[in-house]
Amino acid sequence: MSTDEQILGRSSRDDLRAIIAMSNTDIDEAIHVVEDHAPAIFTWDYEKGRRPALNKLYEKAKHAQWNGETDLDWSIEVDQEYFAQVISMMRQQQMDAAGLDLSHTPFANWGEKEWLQHAMENQNWSLSQFMHGEQGALVCTAKIVETVPWIDAKYYASTQVMDEARHVEVFAKYLDTKLNGHYPINAHLRMLLDDIIADSRWDMTYLGMQIMVEGLALAAFGLAMNTTPDPLLKQLLRYVMSDEARHVAFGVLTLKEFYEDLTSAELLERQEFAFEAAVRMRDRFLQQEVWDRMGVDVKEAVKLFDTPPEVKNQDPFQQLLFSKIVPNCKKLGLLDANDGWLRKRFDTLGVTQFEDWVDTGEEYLEMDAVTADRLAAEGA
């Protein structure tokens, strides 16, 4: 059994100094190479539908394809400055409510202009990380097509490759044509994606990507969709989420079957990987690159604005991001295996409360925005 220090590479999970010390220094890197260490697997068993739930998902995916160029209304004007103003005002109110005193800090001289710029950088950063995460999903799913031994899973994964290409495409287009800047990939997100790709065991790609990264993305996209005042981004996220719900279901349905035959020791390795992924995803929310670009000392800014761990673990926004991951981990048996090893870790993150929320095995049927829109258009 590994210690938390061995899993995370730092002595304390909430050590801000160690988290910030990890930053992306290859900002001009154009190509990033990761060894994937995995054998490509053929199967000669072509019986379609041997796994009915995966077959149903594959058939659904074939009908739910959409076109990022034509199904989204790119003629919608996006007034980034106005949206940033709305966000900046909300932030100001939060700071006032918290009684934050910024005199004698690097922010003492910041006025409306700087806070507005900061809000725009925030948007650029968030959408950039969504885009990089989508490319991670594209590469992971291509790997799954190669490495999974079941034909129904290869078929389904191939549809997800197309979905992820579309997601990278629409986020890149939104960034290029509607916002005013890009960010390179966050170091914590890159480390997580590298770890997922580098693992030789095919089920680890599913756990890292479909359960952890996409589980968090599904919750984060939902929060962004409900709060953004931009109708184009709302539409884009609604369509992306419609695909993501299938992707998470793919992970749940596949791993449910595979984990039934694993030993406790093998399950523990999966639990440790899930915990590591959860912490890496939390680390990236410090948005350290935004402070850096705004020309302020990152350590001071994070110390000032990052909620202390004991409070952060009670932050409803941070917690909600885990609202898909936790019930799915429970369904897979990861929460309670090995005397509740992962449950204890999730308890300290304050997220176990979601364990009985609906898991994502079937949710994709309700979230199918593409079919719903087509039926509405036919009826009109």
The residues binding Fe ion (CB under 5 A) are 134, 137, 164, 167, 214, 244, 247
Instruction: Find the shortest distance in angstroms from Cβ 243 to Fe ion.
Output: 6
Residue 249, token pair as written in the block: 């279901």
Instruction: Find the shortest distance in angstroms from Cβ 163 to Fe ion.
Output: 6
The residue (of 152 and 164) whose beta carbon lies closer to Fe ion is 164
How much of the chain is helix, strand and coil, in % rounded to 5? 65, 0, 35
The residue (of 164 and 306) whose beta carbon lies closer to Fe ion is 164
Instruction: Find the shortest distance in angstroms from Cβ 247 to Fe ion.
Output: 4
Residue 103, token pair as written in the block: 């005199």
Residue 306, token pair as written in the block: 């990052």
The residue (of 120 and 170) whose beta carbon lies closer to Fe ion is 170
For residue 268, the surrounding DSSP H or E stretch is helix 264-284
Cα distance between residue 327 and residue 356, in whole Å: 6
Q: How large is the greatest C-alpha to C-alpha distance in the chain, in angstroms?
A: 70
Q: How far apart are the first and last CA of the chain?
A: 60
Task: Report helix, strand or coil for 365.
Answer: helix
Contacts of 374 (CB under 8 A, 6+ apart): none
DSSP code for 364: G
Instruction: Find the shortest distance in angstroms from Cβ 364 to Fe ion.
Output: 11
Cα distance between residue 334 and residue 277, in whole Å: 14
Instruction: Find the shortest distance in angstroms from Cβ 208 to Fe ion.
Output: 12
The residue (of 118 and 167) whose beta carbon lies closer to Fe ion is 167
In single-letter form, the type of residue at position 271 comes to: Q
The residue (of 134 and 199) whose beta carbon lies closer to Fe ion is 134
- Find tokens 């390795």 and name the residue: 269
Closest C-alpha to 170, from 127, 136, 211, 137:
127
Instruction: Find the shortest distance in angstroms from Cβ 167 to Fe ion.
Output: 4
- CA atoms within 13 Å, Cβ hemisphere of 24: 22
Instruction: Find the shortest distance in angstroms from Cβ 312 to Fe ion.
Output: 27
Give the rounded distance of the alpha carbon of 117 from its chain centre.
25
The answer to whether 32 and 133 are in contact (CB under 8 A) is: no
Task: Report helix, strand or coil for 29.
Answer: coil
Instruction: Find the shortest distance in angstroms from Cβ 207 to Fe ion.
Output: 14
Instruction: Find the shortest distance in angstroms from Cβ 137 to Fe ion.
Output: 4
Contacts of 197 (CB under 8 A, 6+ apart): 34, 36, 136, 139, 140, 143, 205
